[in-house]
Amino acid sequence: MSDQHRGQSRRGFLKTLGAVGSGSLLAGAGALQAAAGPAGAAGQAKVPRRPFGRTGVQVATLSLGGIFDIVSNQLMLQQALRLGVDYWDTAYSYSGGRSEEGIGRFFARYPQTRPQVFLVTKSTRRSPDGLSEELDTSLKRLNTGYVDLFFVHAISDISEVNSPDIRRWAERMKKAAKIKLFGFSTHSNMEECLYKAAPLGWIDGIMMTYNYRIMHTKAMQQGVAACHQAGIGLTAMKTQGGGPVADDTEGELLLAGRFLKKGYTPYQAKMAAVWEDQRIAAICSQMTSITVLMANAAAALGRPRLSAADRQALQRYAQATRGGYCAGCAGICEEALAGQAPVAEVMRSLMYLRSFGEPLRARQTLAAALPQGPGRLLELDYSEAQRRCPQGLDIAGLVRQAVAELA
């Protein structure tokens, strides 16, 4: 642990790290300067790029996740472009539209920047008419005629996109030059969604939950390998592996101490574990301040080279804290409940509260998952779902907490 942190309480120390997000306390600006060369002679360092599958597009390995009020944070976009973070991710629903509107405001002011940006937006609708309605609104808000990639947002089963209607819709939108590429995002049943998308031949890109906790499983490896072979561009999200239970363990402190001694944070180490997988084109990270942006860019530029012992430490930590992490395998617990409760979404709402510190997003996620209200959730018997849960989550207890704190 650095001198800076000596004497702080464990909670205070971890809170400090959390405030910096995924970046480095120790090597932020330094890593950027080092990458720029002597005295910054080569100019501003830019984050590396990777091919986005076989789409022919090279994207920044760090993507600006835009779930925040971008209207009020215009400087972020300018700074992101300076750092080469020109893969911007937003959605129709983010921040009640202010995420897209903020990007639109930036393009209105700096129209010359639009071609530099690989712009992604998403819709939670599942019908061609619904997708068209939201895409048209998104384009207006974004002040652009096209998006580079359009995602059907948050699917948990491939049938949510794999229909002749949606395929024809995607082809029509490409012909109309409203979208360049098409795909989906997923944080439930990701492995199966990936695996089943690979042979379709018309999915260009996927963004999925992918982190040191779940990336090594056989099912995930099969899904990623199939998509990679099929030339689908892959973006990882939720790379910090936060869960519905706030991690407040000695293990977290030990992990932090281990990596800080080496000059980087556990957040950087977790990102590095994902970047080590060359099949992953980019990490999408929510960056709500310039400090976090700078720190994440530093991680992308001078990212730690993990040793075998570092990887083992991450694995040990994942194993020790598995009961606090929902792996998104909704098919398991929700089948045990005969589809009566959207358990994975409930866990996701708690994750936003406990691991992201975003109560508003947590409440919105829970409300969207429970259009009829939470009443029935408390009446169900979760014992079989808990028995089957591979993470050993206390599903009943967590559902009660979600209802009490967020409904």
CB of 362 to ligand SF4, least distance (A): 16
Instruction: For residue 395, state whether it binds ligand SF4 (rule: CB under 6 A).
Output: yes
Instruction: For residue 389, state whether it binds ligand SF4 (rule: CB under 6 A).
Output: yes
Q: Is 185 in contact with 215 (CB distance < 8 Å)?
A: no
* d(C-alpha 89, C-alpha 65), whole Å: 5
- Other beta carbons within 10 angstroms of residue 34's beta carbon come to 15
Total number of residues binding ligand SF4 (CB under 6 A)?
14
CB of 329 to ligand SF4, least distance (A): 4
Instruction: For residue 402, state whether it binds ligand SF4 (rule: CB under 6 A).
Output: no
CB of 232 to ligand SF4, least distance (A): 24
Instruction: For residue 399, state whether it binds ligand SF4 (rule: CB under 6 A).
Output: no
**Residue selected from 393, 399, 402, 406 as contacting ligand SF4 according to rule CB under 6 A:** 393
In the window 346-385, what residues touch ligand SF4 (CB under 6 A)? Answer: 347
CB of 156 to ligand SF4, least distance (A): 10
Select 219 or 332, whichever has its Cβ closest to ligand SF4.
Answer: 332
* d(C-alpha 402, C-alpha 399), whole Å: 5
**Taking CB under 6 A as the rule, which mask of x and - marks residues 294-333 in contact with ligand SF4?**
--------------------------------xxxxx-xx
CB of 322 to ligand SF4, least distance (A): 9
Q: Is 261 in contact with 232 (CB distance < 8 Å)?
A: no
Select 119 or 190, whichever has its Cβ closest to ligand SF4.
Answer: 190
* d(C-alpha 227, C-alpha 206), whole Å: 9
CB of 331 to ligand SF4, least distance (A): 8
Select 295 or 327, whichever has its Cβ closest to ligand SF4.
Answer: 327
What tokens does 375 get?
């009443």
Q: Is the dihedral of CA 85, 90, 95, 99 positive or negative?
A: positive
The torsion region of residue 154 among left (phi > 0), alpha (psi -120 to 50) and beta comes to left
CB of 5 to ligand SF4, least distance (A): 33
CB of 188 to ligand SF4, least distance (A): 7
* d(C-alpha 333, C-alpha 63), whole Å: 32
* d(C-alpha 182, C-alpha 201), whole Å: 11
Select 121 or 355, whichever has its Cβ closest to ligand SF4.
Answer: 355
* d(C-alpha 399, C-alpha 407), whole Å: 11
* Residues belonging to the chain: 407
CA atoms within 13 A on the CB side of 12: 6
386 closest CA partner among 328, 349, 339, 343: 343
Q: SS3 of 354, please?
A: helix
* d(C-alpha 395, C-alpha 297), whole Å: 37
**Residue selected from 70, 214, 344, 370 as contacting ligand SF4 according to rule CB under 6 A:** 344
Select 318 or 333, whichever has its Cβ closest to ligand SF4.
Answer: 333
Instruction: For residue 274, state whether it binds ligand SF4 (rule: CB under 6 A).
Output: no
**Residue selected from 161, 299, 391, 406 as contacting ligand SF4 according to rule CB under 6 A:** 391
Enumerate binding residues for ligand SF4 (CB under 6 A).
326-330, 332-333, 343-344, 347, 389, 391, 393, 395
